[in-house]
């Protein structure tokens, strides 16, 4: 990843990596990505001093950047090898987008707020990310043009798996989505086998709601 890494953040980022290892994150490629991606670029200047804390932070439009452990636990479930085509629903701060860009061949990310999308485009360019395509739209409908996807990760809570995302997931692909009500969800991994989704519950989480035609009504 291009872009200068400010020396004052190097120690903080390394401590974050060590903290995530202590919490059970084992994927070495993912840990290297976390050690490489400059998270401080993806948070508002007012909270930049907290960029490498293992905590969620506000990013505007009522949205948040998830705590690094939640990002790491989620991305680790996709078991990426560097060859995959990945769809992300909810670009948000684009920090997770940048992590995915280090671990997959191509990343396609959909965001419903133009302000967040414009900011994400700028910071990804600043960070030197090249293999990401961004779209403004209803994430619950996915991004049919580039389907099927080897991995889909949804950064918002849904009442159930949107049919569009199930359809756009490749055979053998992995779909990670928080499923539940608006207040609390279960981070859930679905693997597509024989055209059907096999479910595996990961951990309780709290995400903003997935607003859209196949999510929650606005």
List, as one string, the DSSP characters of 132-190.
Answer: EEEEES-GGG--GGG--EEEEEE-SBBSS--HHHHHHEEEEEEEEEEEE-SS-EEEEEE
Looking at the DSSP assignment, which residues form a beta bridge with residue 132? 107
To the query of whether residue 66 is one of the catalytic residues in this protein, the response is yes
**CA 146, CA 200: separation in Å to the nearest integer?**
26
Q: Which two tokens stand for residue 30?
A: 């993912």
Residues in the chain: 218
Q: Which two tokens stand for residue 42?
A: 């993806």
User: 3-class DSSP state for residue 216?
Assistant: strand
Q: How far apart are CA 25 and CA 41, in angstroms?
A: 23
User: Which of these is catalytic: 55, 66, 101, 135?
Assistant: 66
Q: From residue 194, how far is each of 142, 148, 201 by CA, in Å?
A: 21, 15, 20
- Return the residue matching tokens 């395509």: 133
Measured CA to CA in angstroms, residue 47 lies from 51, 56, 119, 191 at distances of: 7, 11, 16, 37
Active site members: 66
């Amino acid at each position: 990843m291009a872009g200068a890494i400010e020396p004052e953040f190097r120690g903080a980022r390394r401590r974050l990596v060590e903290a995530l290892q202590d919490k059970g994150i084992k994927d070495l490629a993912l840990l290297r990505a976390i050690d490489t991606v400059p998270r401080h670029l993806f948070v508002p200047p007012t909270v930049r001093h907290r960029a490498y804390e293992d905590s969620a932070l506000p990013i505007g439009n009522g949205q948040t950047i998830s705590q690094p452990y939640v990002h790491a636990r989620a991305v680790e479930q996709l078991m990426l090898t560097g060859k995959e085509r990945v769809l992300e629903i909810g670009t948000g701060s684009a920090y997770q987008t940048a992590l995915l860009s280090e671990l997959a061949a191509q990343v396609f990310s959909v965001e419903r707020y133009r302000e967040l999308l414009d900011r994400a485009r700028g910071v990804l360019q600043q960070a030197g990310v090249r293999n990401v395509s961004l779209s403004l739209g209803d994430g619950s409908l996915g991004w049919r043009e580039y389907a099927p996807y080897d991995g889909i990760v949804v950064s918002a809570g849904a009442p159930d798996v949107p049919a569009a995302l199930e359809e756009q997931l490749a055979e053998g692909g992995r779909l990670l989505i928080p499923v539940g009500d608006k207040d609390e969800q279960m981070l859930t991994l679905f693997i597509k086998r024989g055209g059907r989704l096999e479910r595996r519950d990961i951990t309780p989480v709290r995400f903003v709601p997935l607003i859209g035609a196949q999510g929650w009504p606005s």
